[in-house]
Structure formats: structure tokens, C-alpha cells
Amino acid sequence: MAVSTTASGGAGRANSPTRAVVLLTGPAYVWLTIAVLLPLLAMFYFSFLTEAPIAGRVGELTLEQYREFLEHGFYTTLILRSLKLGATVAFFCFLLGFPCAYVLAKTIKGRWREALFLLVIIPFWSNALVRVFSWTMVLRGNGLLERSIDFVIPGAGSLGLMFTYPAVVIGLVHSYLPYMILTCYISLQAIDDDLIEAARSLGAKRLTILRRLILPLAMPGIVAGAVLIFVPVIGSFMEPRILGGRHGTFIGTIIEDQFTAVFNWPLGAALSFILLACVLVIFALFAPVLKRAA
């Protein structure tokens, strides 16, 4: 940084755009390097050690952690399970979020839009743990949901949602829905209303407009939302643990166990990087589709 500023300072005004770029983006990149890359590199190094070199312990270099993964089939099972969870949550976020974003972007104007936006964003202002625990009150046996249903249809019986896979999906969809709404909203708003008018005047039906015009044009937002949701969901551990109970074991909870319950940081780190590799492979495979969409 210091070098580049003096260099551009000597070159005078001609270089000032470079200088501006360095000055404006520099702090962010320095911060990212320190806050993201360094800890990540340390974890990557840990994943090749026999034990975490903390408090006077010395770890030796080894591939044992990665072999551990290959030796036990259940880690793979759990990664697949987490990937499936990520896809499911992203899909339901799209199903619920896209219509909502469409209405916000195209139908509602003015003050109502602000009010509705607030409703979308408010959950973001609350603590994630509080949100999940409030879901336990709703979903548990004889909880708010079952009592409300029983009020409408007496004797409807128990749903038994708590501590199931659907409970985890419900909690996660609620947590991540705003991402989908916001990204879809931005790309939907950018669609010129005249385009839709034109299609309509040429006799296109509503479904055709949606399928051939709006969905393709909104694809960058949908893809961005899906990626933003998919990645954190496959590593999630809090929601599955609290809402999933016995059905809440995913690769995220296993990694958390390695760090907090048994102090096996190397294995936890190795599993994290294997998961990261899986994500990268998936994105590489879908790169052509993603590129076209974006």
C-alpha cells in the first residue's frame, strides 16, 4: 500500500484513478486478507496435522484426517444429506420468495412497498438463535401451531413436526428467505415495464410472459439468491441441532462436534475443507449454466 501511494504520488495527476482505486479498495482487501484468508489458511494447515498446535501441543504433518474421511462412509452420507438440505432450502426460498419479490417490484408502489419491505427485513434484525427458539415454541407438540390448527379444526390431531427434517427446513427457509427476496427484487425491478407491455400487446399470455420474459431476465437474481442460501445452509449446525433433534445430524453438526466437543480441530478442519471442495466442484460443474443465467 505504502509503495503504491508514493509511486502514484510521484507520477502526478495522470495516475490518480489508480491511486483512487488503491485507496478505496485497499482497506477492504487488507481487511479481507486478515479476517478471512489468514484464519482459513491456518485451518487448512491444521487439517494436515495430527493435533491442533495450541497450548504447547505439537502436531505432526499427516494425511490421516483426510484418510479418516475416506475410511468412514458416514461422513459422505452426511455431506450428501447436507447438500440435499441446501438444495431443498434454496428451492423453497425461491418458491416463496420469488412471487413475493415480484409483487414488491411490479405491483405495489409507494408507502405500502416500504412497509412490506420492512416485514421482509425485520427477521434479519433479530438474533438467529432467538428466531430458532421461537420456532421451537411454534412447532413443538401442543405448541402454537398445533393449538391454532386445533382451534380451527377441532380434533385435527398432532402434526409431530418438531425434531424432524421438515422442521429443520422450515427454520432454515425462514432464516434465509430475505436473501432470495432481496436479490430477486433487484433483478425484477430492473426489468423495463415496457417490455412486459410489448409482450402483452403482441398477444403473449401471462404464463408465457413469466416463462419466456420475466424468469430469464430475473435469473441473475434467482441464481445469486440460491447461491447465497445454499452455501451457508450446507454448513449450518445450530438450526439442525435445535429443530432437528435426533434427525438433526448433518455435516455441520459433526464438524461443530469436532471443534467443541472433542477438541479434534484437525479432523474438523479437514471435514470443512472437504465440504468446501464439494461446493467448488458443484459450482464448477454448474459454471456454464450459472454463467448463462447471470
* Residue 175 binding another protein, by CB under 8 A: no
- In angstroms, the CA 174 to CA 170 distance is 6
Footprint (CB under 8 A) of another protein, residues 143-162:
162
Closest CA to 94 of 190, 219, 253: 219
Task: State which of positions 103-142 bind another protein (CB under 8 A).
Answer: 140-142
Cβ distance 229 to 236 under 8 Å? no
Q: What is the CA radius of gyration of the chain?
A: 24
How many residues of this chain interact with another protein, rule: CB under 8 A? 24
Select 57 or 211, whichever has its Cβ closest to another protein: 57
* In the complex, minimum distance from the CB of residue 254 to another protein, in angstroms, rounded to a whole number: 6
All cell numbers assigned to 146: 398445533
Site for another protein contains 257 (CB under 8 A): yes
Out of 254, 269, 270, 274, point to the residue binding another protein (CB under 8 A).
Answer: 254
235 near another protein (CB under 8 A): no
Q: Are 239 and 171 in contact (CB under 8 A)?
A: yes
Residue 237 found at the interface with another protein (CB under 8 A)? no
Q: Give the nearest distance from C-beta 85 to another protein in angstroms.
A: 11
Contact of 230 with 90, CB cutoff 8 Å: yes
66 touching another protein, by CB under 8 A: no
Which residue from 14, 24, 28, 55 is in contact with another protein, where contact means CB under 8 A? 55
Q: Which of 140, 157, 159 is nearest to 243 (CA)?
A: 140
Based on the shown chain and the rule CB under 8 A, indicate whether residue 53 belongs to the binding site for another protein: no
Q: Does 201 bind another protein (CB under 8 A)?
A: no
Window of 6-14, 15-23, 49-57, 94-102 that interacts with another protein by CB under 8 A: 49-57
Cell of 122: 425485520
- CA 252/CA 258 separation, integer angstroms: 10
**What is the Cα–Cα distance from 2 to 95, expressed in whole angstroms?**
50
Is the Cβ of residue 63 or residue 95 nearer to another protein in the bound state?
A: 63
CB of 154 to another protein, least distance (A): 20
Q: Does 246 bind another protein (CB under 8 A)?
A: yes
Among the listed residues 212, 208, 179, 191, the one whose alpha carbon sits nearest the alpha carbon of residue 97: 179
Minimal CA–CA distance to 194: which of 183, 205, 184, 202?
Answer: 202
Locate 208 and state its grid cell: 408465457
Helix H or strand E encompassing 85: helix 73-102
Query: Applying CB under 8 A, does 54 fall inside the site for another protein?
Result: yes
Within positions 70 to 109, which residues make up the interface with another protein, using CB under 8 A? 72, 74, 77-78, 81
**Which residue's CB is nearer to another protein, number 120 or number 251?**
251
Min dist CB 202 to another protein, Å, is 52
- 262 scored as a contact of another protein (CB under 8 A): yes
Neighbour count for residue 255 (Cβ, 10 Å): 23
Residue with cell 438433526: 248
Q: Does 163 bind another protein (CB under 8 A)?
A: yes
Q: Which residues bind another protein (CB under 8 A)?
A: 54-56, 72, 74, 77-78, 81, 140-142, 162-163, 245-247, 249, 254, 257, 260-264
